[in-house]
A and B are shown apart, each in its own frame.
Chain A
């Protein structure tokens, strides 16, 4: 009896959640949105917005900048924030929330429904001091190594299982007179972020999740040996000119969006490229004829310590509300829905944090596999740099650039990061 009652209750709740809230509201007006997307990603976001705009009559004023952190701070300090911003990480979200700039979303979205549709981890990441401030609109799986499958197999290479394997493979490719890696760190004002992904995955897969957590919370120093080792392992790749396409200057000057392209030139400019799931979108835009899973593929970044083989790094974009308007509320409710997120998922390049988006909705086997990995991961950690205070994050980005230029300055760079961190985590 009790069981039936609870099932009925659950069904009722589900129905309530799915039922349209009255007539689709013709709100009209505008809502301004600030985010980092440009190019193809922006096209996908626009496609995602289209049904919303049609249904509600609200016009979305979109502004994109890679210098999001500075631009958003400028605007918030000037008392002129956008209505809605899509933040690249919980670190920033927490800062703005604690300063009182963000509107709590607890009564904007349906809390019950959110709990049903989202994994608790994602909700926790959007929660600051017990209140929900950010909802994830898309996520990505980081720490993947992409390769040109036919070329890779034709050369007789095999997918490495451990870091040592990976370095042996790297050396073997170089010994064959080829270039193993493509790395591109240029990203305008945000230059350097792809390198922070390297360091994060190397730290997580060598020292484990506990150390990783203590690192981004600044409970261990930047000069700690675990952190230092992650940097040094990164240097084993980028510090060796034979290992990277274009040498060190290629690493620094190549835009992240184009970095993967030499994988597919003939003969291949390189054989391996470390990047998150979203890069697939860039690859397919450039080479529309490549078949995902057959012509190119990924393998998870191999573990340094076998215990952490299944740990993954994820990232995602959270939408937060800076100005409480009916249009902003409507937009956030919409962006949180499976309906909205399925749009970007179908176009490729995004994983949805919303469990209602079915795995069948993913356009190809690669996207689907990544979504599965993310949903079933035993140990998932969020991108650490995006969890750090903005001052540390931007210093981290720049430090990686200085490091690639002069790896022997590592000690001084870490000491500076530690100084910045001491001031920022208060």
Chain B
């Protein structure tokens, strides 16, 4: 079963290292009988297909779009978990409802908004959009986590006369490190792997296009050019794979907690 699961990905990996002619003429599994390997495909996609730029663009999109929602969500979650106010339950319920809203529903008006403000096609536009799309889940997750923190710690801090920002930054955020890490990994992957948001708000101009957009353009223009397509796809997978292998625990927790995100 596990072998079955790996085979398609292995096929991709192997093909990306085979010379163009071999990829077109024989199946990748024949590589064991005829091991010709080359880095040529990677050189080609990185240099002539803008993939190196796209990789950088993906980073430019992803880093802020992961950092910003984390803190904004933490503020909101703090209020929902630790402050008592009328309407708290309603706000939390509204968040849960927003979890399921398909982002397609927001495309047209948000696009018009970006066009009107001149933000369309710029990185800040996707940072804002990804922040907002990630918020319902982030607030929801952090609220649940904050609620499990021991109440007496915070209360003792309040007794010292510190105003809320102090315990928040000194105590709550450090104590929530595992939840924040899971969330960060989840949001990172979500943004890195996104195609639709980038396609619509950012477009495919080489100077801004992230890897997902570039790879999907390559599928269109290269059709059967499998030696290049496989290399390109693998470049797009490299960073998520590193994150996956390196931070597997946080990753799995993040995705599990993200189960309810639509």
- A78 near B200 (CB under 8 angstroms)? yes
How far, in angstroms, from A417 to B38 measured CA to CA in the complex? 48
- A62 near B206 (CB under 8 angstroms)? yes
**Contact residue among B120, B201, B206, B221 (Cβ-Cβ distance under 8 Å from A37):** B221
Among A159-167, A185-193, A357-365, A399-407, the one that faces the other chain is A185-193
Chain B residues whose CB sits within 8 angstroms of the CB of A65 once the complex forms: 204, 217, 220-221
Q: Assess whether A257 is interfacial by the CB under 8 Å rule.
A: yes
How far, in angstroms, from A37 to B204 measured CA to CA in the complex? 14
Q: Assess whether B69 is interfacial by the CB under 8 Å rule.
A: no
- B217 near A74 (CB under 8 angstroms)? no
How far, in angstroms, from A80 to B203 measured CA to CA in the complex? 8
Chain B residues whose CB sits within 8 angstroms of the CB of A78 once the complex forms: 111, 114-115, 120-121, 200-201, 203
A258/B114 contact (C-beta < 8 A), A32-B205, A74-B200 known? no
How far, in angstroms, from A258 to B224 measured CA to CA in the complex? 8
- A75 near B220 (CB under 8 angstroms)? no
- A39 near B221 (CB under 8 angstroms)? yes
Q: Chain B 181-221 against A: per-residue CB contact (8 Å), 1 yes, 0 no?
A: 00000000000000000011111111101000000011111
- A71 near B223 (CB under 8 angstroms)? no
- B206 near A67 (CB under 8 angstroms)? no
In angstroms, how far is the closest chain B Cβ from the Cβ of A322? 12
**Contact residue among A64, A77, A79, A257 (Cβ-Cβ distance under 8 Å from B223):** A257
- B224 near A63 (CB under 8 angstroms)? no
Q: Max chain A CB contacts within 10 Å: which of B122, B199, B220, B224?
A: B220
- A188 near B206 (CB under 8 angstroms)? no
How far, in angstroms, from A34 to B204 measured CA to CA in the complex? 9
In angstroms, how far is the closest chain A Cβ from the Cβ of B235? 17
How far, in angstroms, from A39 to B114 measured CA to CA in the complex? 34
Q: Count how many pairs of residues, one from A and one from B, have CB atoms less than 8 Å apart in the complex.
A: 80
For residues 122 through 168 of chain A, which have their beta carbon under 8 Å from a beta carbon of chain B? none
Size of the A side of the interface (Cβ < 8 Å), in residues, is 29
Q: Assess whether A241 is interfacial by the CB under 8 Å rule.
A: no
In angstroms, how far is the closest chain A Cβ from the Cβ of B228? 9
- B223 near A80 (CB under 8 angstroms)? no
Chain B residues whose CB sits within 8 angstroms of the CB of A190 once the complex forms: 220
**Contact residue among B202, B203, B219 (Cβ-Cβ distance under 8 Å from A188):** B219
How far, in angstroms, from A166 to B115 measured CA to CA in the complex? 54
How far, in angstroms, from A364 to B218 measured CA to CA in the complex? 31
Closest to B217 in A: A65
How far, in angstroms, from A189 to B216 measured CA to CA in the complex? 10
Chain B residues whose CB sits within 8 angstroms of the CB of A186 once the complex forms: 223
Chain B residues whose CB sits within 8 angstroms of the CB of A74 once the complex forms: 199-200, 203
How far, in angstroms, from A65 to B204 measured CA to CA in the complex? 9
Would you give 29 A-B contacts (Cβ < 8 Å), ordered by A? A32-B207, A34-B204, A38-B218, A39-B225, A61-B205, A61-B206, A62-B206, A63-B204, A63-B217, A65-B204, A65-B217, A65-B220, A66-B220, A71-B204, A74-B203, A75-B203, A75-B205, A78-B114, A78-B200, A78-B201, A79-B114, A79-B121, A80-B202, A80-B203, A82-B205, A187-B223, A188-B221, A257-B223, A258-B224
